[in-house]
Chains A and B, each alone.
Chain A
Amino acid sequence: MDVTLRVKRFNPEVDRRPHWETYTVAVDGSDRVLDVLHQVKWHQDGTLSFRRSCAHGVCGSDAMVINGKNRLACVLLVRDVGTEITVEPIRGLPVIKDLIVDMEPFFAGYRSVRPVLVTHDEPGARERIQSPEERARFDDTTKCILCAACTTSCPVFWANDAYVGPAAIVNAHRFIFDSRDDAATERLEILDRRTGVWGCRTAFNCTDACPRGIKVTQAIQEVKRASFAPDDG
């Protein structure tokens, strides 16, 4: 079947503002949107630029806005999206070229929550003990692949780039609720502000956008609650 692909394009070496280009591509229903983009890049227009690597939804390279929603191009199949496909760069981060945005502000947000296990005890020669229940407490947020689909779907992040964004809070959650970690209080202090967890207006866009199915909004609410009673962390 043929699909019509519309791509919002911008080449900083040529263009003053973005413009749309339309391509017709012969594909199978089981092809990924990433395959459609590759067909264009490899056989119609090699200048079309986008990031990708693993092509099955684990590396987080190819988040983009597909028919209005944040998706990974390699996880969305043509049969699920239809024959009219519109692709734009994710929003709220500066566009560099075509579907490629500057990821540095996103990773700065990630780094700001101190995303590393912090412990004050000496662990000894064997593993720390953690029960299956304690391990399950933060399982959901360990799935994050830092694709930025959540953060760049968030209207608060669009309006205020000082807001740390859902992905950073998800990664804080992953440690705050890890029974082995000793820095929950510090992370909650980092996030206890309008540009932190209180920036969230529970729009749920992040939860809808997450390609890993993380309950992002719920994780943010749990961090909010923990900041009232840090001892629960």
Chain B
Amino acid sequence: MKEGATHVESLDPQHELQVADPSGLEIPYEPTSTARRMTLNMGPQHPSTHGVLRVVLELDGETILSARPEIGFLHTGIEKEFEVKKYQQGIPLTDRVDYLSNLGNNLGYSLAVERLLQLEIPPMAQWMRVMLCELSRVSSHLTWLGTHALDIGAMSVYFYCFREREEILKLFEMFSGQRMMTSYIRIGGLALEPPRGWQKVTANIIPRLAKGIEEYHNLLSSNPIFVNRTKGVGGLPVDLLLELGVTGPMVRAGGIKMDARKDAPYSSYEKFDFEVPTRTENDVYARYEVRMEEMRQSLRIAKQALDGMPSGPWQAHAPQVLLPDREKMKTQMESLIYHFKIVTEGFRVPEGSVYQVVESPRGELGFYVVSDGSAKPHRVFMRTPSFGNLQALGALLEGVPIADSIAIMGSMDFVLGDVDR
């Protein structure tokens, strides 16, 4: 290449001819210069991909002709790791998959194993799980809202969202000792007895969050910059989205009322009164509206769980599965034996397989647990919502201006830990 030549001039001229009429573009293609068509690499370290995602974009001027997502940079082999750990040791691994909705992941795995064990969970533990999962959904949506708004140019919303999210994380810390990697929901119940005074703290947080959500609504919903950048952007027929594996708020914004909490209620969700919000516009703004409404509904569920929290034990009665009470272990021989056996050998799970679906903030989270009768799972497969959602990225970005790609990617709300596992 001669000195001073740009990489654009070095493109093969044959290459140019192929795109003489790119399909699906409203503006007729006029080759004004050789500089129009280029390949742009986005990521793996790009702020708007929220993690290590690489997207290879084929551009014609500012219009994306095709987008090819490349994943796997965060592949940690968690599914392989499950196979050498005992069932109860798998809980901390689930935290690290979708690191914004840890409690939802704990719940999915616990429910799957409990179904194989046929454990009956006491009502108090079930309601507490629901309350914490809904607060975790709010926390996840707040992270999404803050970063999505930041991508589009609304800086202050980010700070407000993280201010409110901090309250939820403090509550999680109070319950489990951890802000994010809580591991609080365990097979057979909860990890610890709920801390003293949790009712008061939770009762304080819920109205503050509700007030915060209205504040973001006032900041964004009729903000002309936000509306112009999101309305009518990122649409694709909802049937196609479903076929590509998209779930959660993205299809609910297209009018499909699909929510595992209503369709196949788990952990007593059928006893709570809530709506599944849907929109029909199927654009970035509709996804924003759906998630905002979901946060309000989540707070409604959390309030119901707080007000009607049943009393009773927080763990199932299953001495061969759950560690005994510390005091009993010190005084009773039988408890000591159970403690020793669970810690050294683990507990055996009957042979079989189960696919348990829970509704994560991002969509359908499924745990497929295969047991061969031993104390370690034979296989744990996680059907993570972000993986399915991300598969539609190529189709969603085709033919849109490059500036819209940031808004569209933000509206998908994927977590790369959830994609790559």
Task: State yes or no: do A and B come from one complex.
Answer: no
